[in-house]
Chain A
Amino acid sequence: MTALARAISQPQPVEGFASPSPVEGLARRSVGFPDVLGQSVSAVAPAAAATTIPLLIAASGGSPVWALGFALVLALLVATTVNQFTKRLAAAGSLYTFVSRGLGRTASFITGIALLIGYGFVSMFALAGAGYYLSIVVDRFWPGSVGSLLLTAVLVVIMAAVCLLVLARGIRVSTRVTLVVECVSVGIILLLVVVLLAHQDFTVEWSVLSLQGVSPANFAVGAALALTAFVGFESASTLGVEARRPYRAIPRAIVGTVVGAGLLYVVASFSQLVGFAALGIPLTSSVSPVNDLAAAYGIEGVGLLLDVSIAASFLACAIATLTALVRVLFSMGREGLLPSAFGRTHRRHRTPFFAAVVAVPALTVVLVTTMLVAGSAWQAMAILIVGAAGGYLTAYALACVAAPVFLWRIGELTVWTAVRAALAAVLLVLVLGIYLVAAGSGDQFAGVWVFLGVMMAGVVLYALRHARRPWRRHTVGAYDVPIGEDLLGGQRGVEG
């Protein structure tokens, strides 16, 4: 150990680390693993997805269990590919920053727009969902209020204010609360599963797994829908700067979220199918399968609890997704793609305050307008989720293409990683194409056009801003670098 012992006893000064990190101003290295995990889990909102997605897949003619199983494998491929970045660089811009290290600024900006669409639309979707489910809860006490647009809109505005407050105060409170909320909701769903299976004396109807009558096209649409249940798992990577031990915590949170959510989906969809098969009615005839099942199996008491917890799950999802969104905006502000004010942080709470103050009210206004135009919260949600899925899948596909290039650039590419990334990218493009075509020809066509329109508008905006400020080209892709204090022989900033 001579060289190591020498390095420890007489540290050689190391140059190039002493300057402050480019993302300075956030609460660097301040949140632990539970918070990072909470961020990803709440952005995925597994409880809300497990109760709604199986029905959507069944309604599209697919097989929920197989589609969710396939989506789990694909999401794992994507997650492990994204982790090639999260193991190596800690950024607040997530995929937007990652892609810049592999494919350069133009691809990075397209990823950024796609990611902002994903986060923006999902946060509006989740706010609308929370408002909708809360209005169902209110309806139990004041019948007749469930369809009221005014009530839902008021609830949405109140919850947006809550989100803004939490975002400004710092992430630690929000991630812990949301993790607890998700655990409770998932617990209720699992309880229901056990009760359901116990009713059948644990002899289940395996024929519900049959793929008979599912055409390849239906299977693909089902798989695309199933994948939307997973989106958001990468959002832990927006805490790269703020997480303690980011190179360990973030990859674990991402893979853990995908595996945990995936297993829940498979179990929940299977039990919903079994439950409805035993009742002798098709799953697609139900509007709210979990509530109907609970009622049919004599535990309707959990109905209210379930509605409250789904509303809470949606609110948690909104908070987590907005947390991710403002950090991407923050990164863009720091790099000059957006006005530099977006890169400002709150002096005391060390959060991207300005981005939050701009983004949350803007999204709330757009959401309320969409609800008024679409006629109901549910209609608005159907449109928003298409745009969100398009944004996420585009960003994931670009990240999967960028990963091998990035690894090759730093000289760490291996064959298996390249194969995995390529497979993930091809499958994502296929799923995205099928999804957009299917949604575009159905009653959600508005969502597809909104997605394509916003993408185009973003690219034009980028081209304009870029033409006016060509010197910005070298600044894209700011990430946290080790500061002097982190390394042996680095210069430490000692004050007083």
Chain B
Amino acid sequence: MTAPRGAADQTPASAGLHARQPKAIHSALTVLEEVARCGAGVTARTISDNLELPRATAYRLLNVLVQDEYLVRTPDLRGFALGRKVVELASLVAPARPPEAVRLIVDRLREGIRGGVHLVRYGHGGLRVIDPDPDFPPSDRAHVNRFLSESAMGRLLLAERGQAAAAPARQLYSDIRRQGFAHQFENVKSGYGCLAVPIRDRSGGLVAGLCLSAPRTRLENPTALIELLQGGARDLAPLLA
């Protein structure tokens, strides 16, 4: 997940979708639903019996869902469990509006800083922008979970996980942990960069993040900006943790 993806990998999700497939998609979602209902470890045979699907169809659907990582097989290979990717489906749904007290603090920050200030929440292995700056909406690419390693808000999360295959990424994440903030320059939008500071609960777990996106030149000496953001983060921590 942390390694950069090859360009050839990124075929659009709609590639090869034909008119007759909605039925298959319906069946696939029914299968996901059934795995969720039965719990981890349910076997292919149980699913095909419960849904009254022909065996071959059920096995095929299950294998496709495993290939796309919506499902994973249990270590004995007989059973199935929901994969983390299922959450990506859920994160497409608009998140609930954060409470008034939170929005007041974020708005105050926006008045003090020129640039887009976004509030991000972490959870279920991904991130969701819960309060995007209405004047400078964040780029789609910045908060899509498959590009975590490119955005500052994503890097905060990856640094927290602390797993990286490649040496440069490991170095980057250990820098983020040491400095206490993440940044990226021109990864998402040319000429622009982004800073992100963590918001932690009392036990030190990462629960949310405050991000600032602005022209790159303004972010090259970020000390003052980081202090502003960290002040906001301190105020927000008790409300979000």
A87 to B1, CA, bound (A): 20
Of B37-45, B129-137, B183-191, the stretch lying at the interface with chain A is B37-45
Q: Is B68 within 8 A of A248, CB to CB?
A: yes
Q: Is A245 within 8 A of B6, CB to CB?
A: no
Taken residue by residue from 184 to 202, chain B's Cβ proximity to chain A (1 for < 8 Å, 0 otherwise) reads as 0000000000000000000
| Given A29-B1, A101-B77: A494 touches B161 (CB 8 Å cut-off) | yes
Q: Is A88 within 8 A of B63, CB to CB?
A: yes
| Given A11-B124, A486-B69: A4 touches B1 (CB 8 Å cut-off) | no
Chain A residue contacts of B124, Cβ below 8 A: 8, 11, 488
* A147 CB within 8 Å of chain B: no
Q: Is B67 within 8 A of A245, CB to CB?
A: yes
Q: From residue 76 to 101 of chain B, which have CB atoms closer than 8 A to chain A? A: 76-78, 81-84, 86-87, 89-90
Q: Is B162 within 8 A of A495, CB to CB?
A: yes
- Partner of B78 from the list A4, A12, A411, A487 (CB cut-off 8 Å) is A411
Of A30-38, A213-221, A325-333, the stretch lying at the interface with chain B is A30-38
| Given A7-B82, A411-B44: A32 touches B77 (CB 8 Å cut-off) | no
A12 to B3, CA, bound (A): 28
Q: Is A7 within 8 A of B86, CB to CB?
A: yes
A32 to B4, CA, bound (A): 10
A283 to B125, CA, bound (A): 62
Q: How far is the CB of B80 from chain A (nearest CB, A)?
A: 10
- Partner of B8 from the list A6, A34, A101 (CB cut-off 8 Å) is A34
A490 to B84, CA, bound (A): 9
Chain A residue contacts of B84, Cβ below 8 A: 485-488, 490
A482 to B85, CA, bound (A): 13
* B59 CB within 8 Å of chain A: yes
Of B28-36, B207-215, B216-224, B227-235, the stretch lying at the interface with chain A is B28-36
Chain B residue contacts of A251, Cβ below 8 A: 67
Chain B residue contacts of A12, Cβ below 8 A: 39-40
Chain A contact surface mostly: loop
Chain A residue contacts of B165, Cβ below 8 A: 27-28, 30, 350
Q: Is B59 within 8 A of A414, CB to CB?
A: yes
A28 to B75, CA, bound (A): 16
| Given A16-B75, A245-B69, A494-B162: A4 touches B33 (CB 8 Å cut-off) | yes
Q: Is B40 within 8 A of A14, CB to CB?
A: yes
Chain B residue contacts of A350, Cβ below 8 A: 165
Q: Is B162 within 8 A of A496, CB to CB?
A: yes
* A362 CB within 8 Å of chain B: no
Q: How far is the CB of B210 from chain A (nearest CB, A)?
A: 21
* A449 CB within 8 Å of chain B: no
Chain A residue contacts of B45, Cβ below 8 A: 411-412
Chain A residue contacts of B162, Cβ below 8 A: 494-496
Chain B residue contacts of A101, Cβ below 8 A: 77
Q: Is B90 within 8 A of A8, CB to CB?
A: yes
A412 to B3, CA, bound (A): 34
* B5 CB within 8 Å of chain A: yes
* A481 CB within 8 Å of chain B: yes
Chain B residue contacts of A28, Cβ below 8 A: 165
Q: How far is the CB of B115 from chain A (nearest CB, A)?
A: 29
* B55 CB within 8 Å of chain A: yes
A487 to B162, CA, bound (A): 18
Q: Is A247 within 8 A of B66, CB to CB?
A: yes
Nearest B residue (CB) for A244: B9
Chain B residue contacts of A5, Cβ below 8 A: 90
Q: Is A414 within 8 A of B8, CB to CB?
A: no
Chain A residue contacts of B9, Cβ below 8 A: 32-33, 244
Chain B residue contacts of A495, Cβ below 8 A: 161-163
Chain B residue contacts of A248, Cβ below 8 A: 67-68
Q: Is B161 within 8 A of A492, CB to CB?
A: yes
Q: Is B82 within 8 A of A487, CB to CB?
A: yes
* A489 CB within 8 Å of chain B: yes
Q: How far is the CB of B198 from chain A (nearest CB, A)?
A: 12
Q: Is B83 within 8 A of A487, CB to CB?
A: yes
Nearest B residue (CB) for A176: B6
Taken residue by residue from 457 to 496, chain A's Cβ proximity to chain B (1 for < 8 Å, 0 otherwise) reads as 0000000000000000000000001100111111011111
* A287 CB within 8 Å of chain B: no
Q: Is B44 within 8 A of A488, CB to CB?
A: no
Nearest B residue (CB) for A28: B165
Chain A residue contacts of B69, Cβ below 8 A: 245, 247, 486
Q: How far is the CB of A220 from chain B (nearest CB, A)?
A: 34
Q: How far is the CB of B127 from chain A (nearest CB, A)?
A: 15
Q: Is A1 within 8 A of B81, CB to CB?
A: no
Q: How far is the CB of B16 from chain A (nearest CB, A)?
A: 12
Q: Is A32 within 8 A of B82, CB to CB?
A: no
* B13 CB within 8 Å of chain A: no
- Partner of A87 from the list B63, B72, B82 (CB cut-off 8 Å) is B63
Nearest A residue (CB) for B3: A30
Q: Is A88 within 8 A of B33, CB to CB?
A: no
Q: Is B8 within 8 A of A412, CB to CB?
A: no
Chain B residue contacts of A17, Cβ below 8 A: 74-75, 81
* A191 CB within 8 Å of chain B: no
Q: How far is the CB of B56 from chain A (nearest CB, A)?
A: 5
Chain B residue contacts of A33, Cβ below 8 A: 6, 8-9
Q: Is A34 within 8 A of B6, CB to CB?
A: yes
A278 to B66, CA, bound (A): 53
Nearest B residue (CB) for A4: B36
A88 to B71, CA, bound (A): 11
Taken residue by residue from 340 to 352, chain A's Cβ proximity to chain B (1 for < 8 Å, 0 otherwise) reads as 0000000010100
Q: Is A3 within 8 A of B44, CB to CB?
A: no
* A373 CB within 8 Å of chain B: no
**Can you identify 27 A-B contacts, CB atoms within 8 angstroms?**
A3-B37, A4-B33, A8-B86, A8-B87, A8-B89, A30-B3, A32-B8, A35-B6, A87-B66, A88-B66, A88-B73, A89-B73, A101-B77, A244-B3, A244-B5, A247-B69, A248-B67, A248-B68, A412-B45, A482-B81, A485-B1, A485-B84, A486-B69, A487-B40, A487-B81, A489-B82, A496-B177
Identify 4 new A-B residue pairs, CB closer than 8 A, beyond the known A8-B90, A33-B8, A488-B84.
A89-B77, A251-B67, A482-B72, A488-B83
| Top 5 A-B pairs, shortest CB-CB distance | A495-B162, A248-B67, A3-B37, A7-B36, A32-B6
